[in-house]
Amino acid sequence: MNGVRVLVGTRKGAFILTSDEARKDWKVEGPLFSGWEIFHIKGSALNPNRLYASQSNGWFGQIMQRSDDGGKTWEAIGKDFVYDGVPGTHMWYDGTQHPWEFKRVWHVEPCIHDADTVYAGVEDAALFRSTDGGTTWHERSGLRGHKTGSQWQPGAGGMCLHTILQSPADPLRMVIAISAAGAFRTDDGGESWKPINRGLVSNFMPEPTAEVGHCVHRVACHPSRPDVLFMQKHWDIMRSDNAGDDWAEVSGNLPSDFGFPIDVHAHEPETIYVVPIKSDSEHFPPEGKLRVFRSRTGGNEWEALTNGLPQEDCYVNVLRNAMAVDRHESCGVYFGTTGGQVYASADSGDTWNAIVRDLPAVLSVEVQTLA
Amino acid sequence: MIRVVMPYHLRRLAGLLEAGDVEVHLAGPAETVGDLLTELEARYPVLRGTIRDTVSLERRAMVRFFACGEDVSLASAADPLPKLIQDGDEPFLIIGAIAGG
């Protein structure tokens, strides 16, 4: 099949949307794991038929699922996410210390260097790794054990590790992000980590430029330039050209610099996408207009993309894991909303269509480009 | 023989929906709630962690247990099950708390 497979996680199950390269006619399959929250579902770049899904609910906890046939059949795999050693405490909402408690897997990231290795970002924030296809999980505890760990604090959605960026050029380098601790980088395969938040300014913090405590919503990069990072922070779009060592704001002319997702065009490393949301207690698009904003200059100069998107009476949100791009020659861009729509553009965002309109609230969108 | 009634999502996880079963029949010698859950998890490993924590073995907050019409959720896992449950005359009920609205 020469086409695309869109993996959608929702509040009430997973859906798989498939099409050919034209991306006009879509087949919608699902719900899988109906009734369960699917925080994230993602396929392996090395073995596209291997998919992982994080399945959870408030009653029965965390389940992990794996498919080795592109989502036709699934097998429950390991789900024991046990913190290394004595878990210790982190900062609670009221400033007191609170024990680290596993709640759910927010993000599952198949390794781009080894087909049987997969990473999981969890709440309360920690990074786990499996080297046996998800059968067993072991914490990369150097992250949570960082000297600043006791200062990390949950954001409104919980203290989640939601972003895992691997470097194609360097298997030992990885960037992760936590709300609300900030971004961290390892250069030794996860043994040790350093905060990479210099240049971030968060005025809600007692010390706005502190080393940690920033509510980073999402970080993205182009695979060809893993040291150029783009960040959607609680407020502010940020850019780093040195793998996170320093950041500069590139919010420019956006109508709001608050939002959740950010992603990079598949073939144009300076073309990035965000979805501005009215900050920060309303969480819907400014003026009721759902607009994706595109910058072709790596930030600062933004254009609204509206063709095919609702431009009145639209009050949905787009969550941090709910945007992705495909790698077809004409780059496809996809995002899902809390109103259950999944929008797709087959022309880099110039025009949009809803693949499906009435799913449960969309938590995550990932895309596989199938050769 | 112990009979266990489980909610939809757990039966589905355990692959017990297609048989149309509402009750899970365990042959093991379960004399306490803890024995019962251990036997259940041994037979259906996917249920580990869904009813009680895998490390502390404490009941998940939104799961309740009923035996012979009584809410035994707060009883000790070491307490003996009623004889009617042990003999299979009454089922042991695992229930997802009614919540959410």
Task: Give the whole-angstrom CA distance, residue A274 versus residue A291.
Answer: 9
Chain A CB contacts of B58 under 8 Å are none
For A215, list phi and psi in degrees, rounded to 5. Answer: -90, 85
Phi-psi group of A230: left, alpha or beta (phi > 0 → left; psi -120 to 50 → alpha; rest → beta): beta
Q: Find tokens 């592109």 and name the residue.
A: A70
Inter-chain touch B63–A60, beta carbons under 8 Å: yes
* DSSP character string of A284-298: S-GGG---EEEESSS
Give the Å distances, CA to CA, from A220 to A199, A233, A261.
17, 12, 9
Mutate to test the interface with B, among A32, A33, A54, A60 (most CBs of B within 10 A): A60
d(CA A263, CA A287): 23
Give a yes or no: residue A323 inside a domain.
no
Position A284 in a domain: yes
Report the run of H or E that residue B37 belongs to, with start and end: helix B33-43
Supply the DSSP symbol for A277: -
Helix (H) or strand (E) holding A248: strand A248-249
Q: Which pLDDT band, with edges at 50, 70 and 90, does B99 fall under?
A: confident
Q: How far is A130 from chain B (nearest CA, A)?
A: 18
Tell whether the model's pLDDT for residue B18 goes beyond 90: no
Q: CB distance B96–A59 less than 8 Å? A: yes
The stretches in chain A having pLDDT less than 70 are 1
Mean pLDDT in chain B?
90
> Which phi and psi angles does A77 have, rounded to 5°?
-115, -165
Evaluate whether residue A7 is within a structural domain.
Answer: no
Quick one: pLDDT at residue A257? 96
Domain count, chain A: 1
Q: How far lies A225's CA from each of A168, A182, A241, A245, B10, in Å?
A: 9, 21, 9, 15, 45
Contact A183, A176 (CB under 8 A): yes
Task: Using DSSP bridges, classify how beta strands B23-26 and A61-67 pair: parallel, antiparallel or unpaired.
Answer: unpaired
Compute the distance between CA of residue A167 and CA of residue A174 in angstroms, rounded to an integer. 6
Nearest to B49 among A35, A57, A61 (CB): A61
Distance CA B16, CA B6 (A): 10
Using CA atoms, how far apart are residues B74 and B55, in angstroms rounded to an integer? 18
CATH code, domain carrying A49? 2.130.10.10
Query: Tell me, what's the pLDDT at A89?
Result: 95
Structure tokens at A21: 């390269």
Tens-digit pLDDT profile for residues A108-149: 999 999 999 999 999 999 999 999 999 999 999 999 999 999
What's the domain range around A70? 39-316+342-351
Among candidates B13, B55, B96 on the partner chain, residue whose Cβ is nearest the Cβ of A82: B55
Q: Which residue of B has its CA nearest to A76?
A: B46
Average pLDDT over residues B49-61: 94
Question: Does a structural domain hold residue A18?
Answer: no
Pick B49's closest partner by Cβ from A36, A58, A62: A62
Query: Does pLDDT of B19 surpass 90?
Result: no
Q: A63 vs B13: CB contact, 8 Å cut-off?
A: yes
Question: What are the beta bridge partners of residue B42?
Answer: none
Q: Which domains does chain B have, with CATH numbers?
A: 2-96 (3.10.20.30)
- A1 within a domain of the structure (yes/no): no
- Considering the domain boundaries, does residue A30 fall inside one? no
Query: Choosing among B16, B40, B41, B46, which should be mutated to test the A contact, i.e. which has the most A CBs within 10 A?
Result: B46
Number of CB pairs < 8 Å for A and B? 38
Q: Rounded to an integer, what distance in angstroms lies between the CA atom of residue A56 and that of residue B62?
A: 13
Residue A174 lies in a domain: yes
Mean pLDDT of B21-50: 88
- A99 touches B: beta carbon within 8 Å: no
Nearest-Cα distance to chain B for A58, in Å, is: 7
Within a domain: residue A112? yes
- Interface confidence, given as ipTM, is 0.92
CB crowding A308-331: b at 16 or more within 10 Å, else e: bbbeeebebbbbbbbbbbbebeeb
CA of A61 vs chain B CAs: smallest distance (Å): 6
Of the pLDDT bands very low, low, confident and very high (cuts 50, 70, 90), residue B30 is confident
pLDDT at site A279:
81
A60 touches chain B (CB under 8 A): yes
Sign, Cα dihedral of B4, B10, B13, B19: positive
CA distance A179 to B60: 26
A35 backbone φψ class: left, alpha, beta (φ>0; ψ -120 to 50): left
